[in-house]
Structure 1
Amino acid sequence: MDDVAGFSEELVAAVAGARRRAVRGADRQIDSAHLLHSLLESDIEVRRVFEEGDRVARVLGYLVQRSIGYGLRWQNGVEDSGALPVVTVTEGFSPVAAVAIETARVRAERRGAGAAQGVDLLAGVLADPRSRAVEVLARAGVDAGELLARVDKDEEPDPFEG
């Protein structure tokens, strides 16, 4: 599974969960909403970014509804907002999800981490304001830009440490 090379064990499990969710939903590709759903279910650090427990519950509620409600319009299309630069296609992932995967790797490298973590992938998922994940967050009343700023702030080194 080259698509998860350089990921922590926990993040590999989260991506595998997104893959299972896409297959169960008969979706053509793993998209950013699949990744968000799996991250929220499996990664406590990702849930902490949301701060309030009811925010996570609201978002999960919308994500669960994707197969029976508004998400049905996504089934026949590929998630590609055109807002992000084109990257090498990652097999089985939408273009937006592929960029999120690559963003997670780059963030981990920038911090000198051995492996990308869930919050790295969350940042990648939140980076495209027209992604399906960001649409789900908006419907749940969660500001993706605020979450991304919180993740980015947490990544900045403390100038008084060291």
Structure 2
Amino acid sequence: MQNRTSRIPQQPALNRADLEAGLSVELAAVVTGARRRALRDGDRYIDTAHLLHSLIEADPEVRTALDEGQQLAKVLGYLVQRSIGYGLRWQGSVEDSGAVPVVTTPGKRPRDTGVEGWSPSAASVLAEARERARRRGDVRAGGLDLLTALSMDRECRAVEVLERAGVDTRRLAARIVRATGWP
């Protein structure tokens, strides 16, 4: 899922410390789990599917938000299949939903202009989760902030997993916003 259109960065890229600042203790643990999962899977980048998998494992509020019928079990099934090498195949490619610029040259691999060790999409949704927390007056982003940001990125791998499992991601994001009253 790479956007092959060359774009010029509109703003300076964040570094890893900047990206990971402003996370709740629980969400920092999710990031650590996603990083460990990416390394174990042989991926060079943390992507949104790694974040989703760690988020579901670590956050009971997220599991509750996803627990409509058999959706949670189906989502976990897709994520587990992916982590053992079956199902959705993304290994060796950089996830890009277009939210963070990726410059490509015909015949060459894309050059990631985002945060080192993060797919452009994952960096974007983590930054959006932090922004959601800031808008509601909180200094730390939490699990529901990240789930909402993931659900709203229509081109990310996490949305692909969620939708294959039957989750209506637009409805999920709207439901979280209504239930929490968070913007």
Question: Bigger shift: 123-132 or 85-94?
Answer: 85-94
For the 8 Å contact 2:24–2:142, the answer to whether it is kept is yes
State the secondary structure of the residue aligned to 1:70.
coil
Does 2:158 correspond to 1:140? no
| Larger helix share, 1 or 2 | 1
TM-score norm. by structure 2 comes to 0.78
* Cα drift, residue 134 of structure 1: 0.7
For the 8 Å contact 2:130–2:141, the answer to whether it is kept is yes
Does 2:89 correspond to 1:64? no
Candidates 60, 63, 66, aligned match of 1:47: 63
Q: Partner of 1:10 in structure 2?
A: 26
Please give the alpha-carbon distance, in whole angstroms, between the structure 2 residues aligned to 1:124 and 1:96.
Answer: 10
* Cα drift, residue 86 of structure 1: 3.9
* Cα drift, residue 136 of structure 1: 0.6
Please give the alpha-carbon distance, in whole angstroms, between the structure 1 residues aligned to 2:139 and 2:22.
Answer: 7
* Cα drift, residue 4 of structure 1: 1.6
Please give the alpha-carbon distance, in whole angstroms, between the structure 1 residues aligned to 2:86 and 2:67.
Answer: 27
Candidates 91, 101, 114, aligned match of 2:116: 91
Please give the alpha-carbon distance, in whole angstroms, between the structure 1 residues aligned to 2:101 and 2:140.
Answer: 24
Kindly provide the CA deviation profile for residues 51-71 of structure 1, in whole angstroms up to 9, marking residues without a partner as x: 436321110011000132233
The count of corresponding residues between Structure 1 and Structure 2 is: 155
TM-score norm. by structure 1 comes to 0.88
Question: Structure 2: which 5+ residue stretches go unaligned?
Answer: 1-15, 103-112
Does 2:52 correspond to 1:36? yes
Aligned Cα root-mean-square deviation (Å): 1.8
